[in-house]
Amino acid sequence: MQNRPILRKLIPIILILGLIWGVFFISRTVLQKPEYSNLDFLPEYAGWSVQIDLHTLMDKGISTILFEEEDAEVKELIQDLATNQDGRFQNFMDYGIQINSSLLIFALENSSIIGASINLNDTEKFNTNLSEELPSNFACYGENNVGIILYSTKNTIDAEKLLTRAKEIINQPHLDQAKSQFDLSLQLHPDNNLLENFTDGTINVQFAKNKILISGEMDSFDSISPKKYTRIKKDGFHVDLVNVTKLVSDSILHSLELELPQIASASINYFGAELITEPKMTIDLNMNGIFTFSESLYVDQSIDSAFSKKFTQLIDLGYQVHSINENTLYIGRDKFDTTKVLTESRYLKIVGDPSSITELKGEGFTRKLIGIIPLFKASDKLSHSINNVDIEVNIVNNDKAKIKGVITFDDEKYAINELLKFILISQQ
The answer on pLDDT for 5 being more than 50 is no
For 363-400, the pLDDT digits (tens) are 888 888 888 899 999 999 999 999 999 999 888 877 78
pTM: 0.79
Amino acid residing at 77 = L
Beta bridge partners of 226: none
Taken in order 220, 225, 226, 231, the sign of the CA dihedral is negative
CA dist., res. 20 & res. 71, Å (int)? 12
The answer on pLDDT for 283 being more than 70 is yes
The answer on pLDDT for 22 being more than 50 is no
For 34-67, the pLDDT digits (tens) are 566 788 888 888 888 899 888 777 777 666 665 5
Instruction: Report the percentage of the chain scoring pLDDT > 70.
Output: 76
Q: Is there a contact between 399 and 219 (Cβ–Cβ < 8 Å)? A: yes
The answer on pLDDT for 156 being more than 60 is yes
The pLDDT, as a whole number, for residue 302 is: 60
The answer on pLDDT for 356 being more than 90 is yes
For 292-319, the pLDDT digits (tens) are 998 888 755 666 666 667 677 778 778 8
The answer on pLDDT for 172 being more than 90 is no
Average pLDDT of the chain to the nearest whole number: 80
Residues 6+ apart with CB under 8 A from 404: 214, 215, 391, 392
What is the DSSP code string of 15-84?
HHHHHHHHHHHHHHTTTSS---GGGG--BTT-SEEEEEEHHHHHHHHHHIIIII---HHHHHHHHHHHHH
233-240: average pLDDT: 93
The pLDDT, as a whole number, for residue 24 is: 45
